[in-house]
Structure 1
Amino acid sequence: MLPERLSKVVCADDLERFAGASGSELRLVTPGVGGRDPILVGEFQRVQLRSGLALHTSNTREVHDLHTEAVQHPGLTIALFLRGHIDAWFGGRLIEMGPRTEDARDIEAIVVARSESDSFVRRSVKGARIRKLNVTITPEWLDQQALLSSPECAAILRFSRTHLATLRWTASPRLITLAEQILGPPLFAAPLQKLYYESRAIDVVSEALLAISDAPAQSGSATIHPTHHRSVRRACDFIDANLDHELMLPSIAAAAGLNSGSLQRAFRLLYGVTVFEYVRSRKLDRARAALERDGISVGEAAYLAGYKTPGNFSTAFRRRFGVTPRQIRATS
């Protein structure tokens, strides 16, 4: 059975009841807030997918400045904030999570290792809108996958055994798509829903472990030249400024100051996609924002995203976000 999903207005008592039901040691320490005082508006849940693999999601607005504390046990926590910012302290060490501005283009993923139990403190401000997921895995889960005994996974072993080791990386479009699918899942019967979450959570873990494995190479010059980072940034700025126009690879490359082949290679190394896969994802992001913010029709959203038919647009939209445009429009 899936654990209870808290939705709409969440009170302090609800949070404590939810924490107890999910086995969490979370406690609310915000002064003057308790009982039936509302603290969140939206929904969040914690799902124990299997032994050693847990998922936590949140799509909420903070009603108060919130301060929570917990004890976290050994393992890896992977966090992806699609919206919103919090300050978190792991064992007294500040690790900021999530973009500080609404218009941030690059979504950052982060993984934190704990080789021993330690304190966790979370603080967010009133009015903050948080849309994020966490996936947590234990050392036992990693060992069951034979990841800690394989010589090819030595970097993962070192990282997992280094207390409060932290890695940040730019989330690939695939990772963002997985997060969108988890945060906006189709409606299934409970066993299928859990399987749906588990398959995508494992994919999120795979992306994080690959990032850990690749981290030494990314710190050197063999992967991508530092000037190419700036060139890709210029290309992304050019793409965002010209989403209403037909974008051709030569013009994007010229704006970046690279030839077409070098730009394609840089995009694959940094984002794991081609230039036009990135363009397509940005247009779909813009169409979703317009559906949510402006309530435009599905046909208008399809046109905005560059699709000639609503059917093709809906297929691509659901593949990226895990929900249909009509479902987004109905909840806007």
Structure 2
Amino acid sequence: MVLKEKSYSKQKLKNKILQAGYDGSTIQESGQSSNTLLTGALNFTKLQNGVSLHFANTYESSETVSSCEIADLISFNILFAGRLSFAINEQRYQFDATTSEKIFINIINGKQTFSRFLSLNNNLKKLNLCVSKAWLIQRCPHEQEKSLILSLFRDKHAVYELSCSEILKEQALQLCSINVNDSLKSQLFLEAQATLFISELISLLKTRVARPVSSTKSYTAKPKRQFDKEVLPLLYCDFTVKQISNKLGTSESTMQRYFKQHFQMSVLEFIREKKLEKARRMLVIERKSIGEAAYYSGYKHVSNFVTAFKKQFAVTPRELLKQHEL
């Protein structure tokens, strides 16, 4: 695929993901905001035969997470270079092609939360082919084959790794090198090569050559500092606990346990505390009015904000301002 190298800001990357059909996707940067999240060649192609291709040869220049919901599909991934990290629900996975290419397969049954993590200073080259569960079943001529396909979807999700043979590597590279244009010939050739490659990988899955991959660790079992770095930006948005847990690829109960363990408070109590700390900064540093601080902290009524503020800091907002005046 002959692609032009481009720079992708947060909005441009989100538009690209939406064009690929992932509605409702969100992108959240950790730490300081960067104008450019990644640079390089990035392409999403949906073929007429139902196969979706995603090719990337990029340099990631920001710690960023992109989240969306995916459902009932098999994703075939060839990692040529770099590190690739993602989470499915509360499970985190990581593949590293620093020394050799990796092939892994994600099987998604039902609607699941998926998050892809961009890493700072990561040169990534990968090819992804994706087909729906229905697409595979429709192509099964015999009940026995249909049963085998359905057996792959017995769990909510599963990740398998294959040895990257020279034959599979060459097939993947050939797919990447096809010059796609609007001609019938190029479209049919790409569809044929993509379908052939998927057929090879499905055969390996059915013969149990693929190895099941365990998650590196539970998503919320990461070090506290790193977890806070990803959670805190979401806390200042008008999200419910359920929405936050979905965006982080974990469950509400797991999040509640984590906060009780590390902060001795519930998620809502933690959110309230952080928002009030932000309000204190807005009052003292940014010199916002009490009404503005209340509004940006999510309080519809100033009186409720003042009550919560005094309970948290033992002074009212006005008393605090007086302490910081000449």
Assess same fold via TM > 0.5.
yes
Map 1:126-145 to 2 at 5 A.
126-145=120-139
Report the identity percentage.
Answer: 18
The one-letter code of the counterpart of 1:10 is Y
CA deviations 1:129-154 (Å, max 9, x no partner) are: 1110111111111122126x531464
User: For 1:196 and 1:137, how far apart are their aligned partners in 2?
Assistant: 18
Matches within 5 A, 1:54-73: 54-73=52-71
Identify unmatched segments of 5+ residues in structure 1.
220-332
Alpha-carbon displacement from aligned partner over 1:66-104 (angstroms, at most 9, x marks no partner): 2111111111111110111121111221122342x2xx1
Gaps of 5+ in 2: 213-326
After TM superposition, the structure 1 = structure 2 runs for residues 87-236 of structure 1, keeping only pairs within 5 Å, are 87-99=85-97, 101=98, 104-105=99-100, 107-146=101-140, 149-152=142-145, 154-186=147-179, 188-215=181-208
Q: CA RMSD in A?
A: 2.7
Matches within 5 A, 1:40-51: 40-50=38-48
Structure-2 change in CA distance of 1:204 and 1:217 (3 Å): closer
The match for 2:14 is: 16
TM-score of the pair, normalised by structure 1: 0.57
TM-score normalised according to structure 2 size: 0.58
Cα distance between partner residues in 2 of 1:5 and 1:27: 25
The 2-side partners of 1:122 and 1:7 are apart by: 21
Report the equivalent of 2:293: none
Q: Is the 8 A contact 1:79 1:135 kept in 2?
A: yes
Structure 1 match to 2:314: none
The 1:85/1:166 distance shift into structure 2, 3 A limit, reads: same
Higher RCO, Cα 8 Å, sep 6+: 2
Q: Tell me the number of residue pairs that the alignment of Structure 1 and Structure 2 aligns.
A: 210
SS of the aligned residue for 1:142 comes to helix
- Residues 192-212 of structure 1: CA deviation (Å, up to 9, x unaligned): 333333222212211221111
Structure showing greater radius of gyration is 2
User: Aligned pair in 2 of structure 1 residues 69, 5: CA closer, same or farther (>3 Å)?
Assistant: farther
Deviations 1:10-62 (A, max 9, x none): 2222112222222223321114447xx21111111111113642111101011
2:26 alignment partner in structure 1: 27
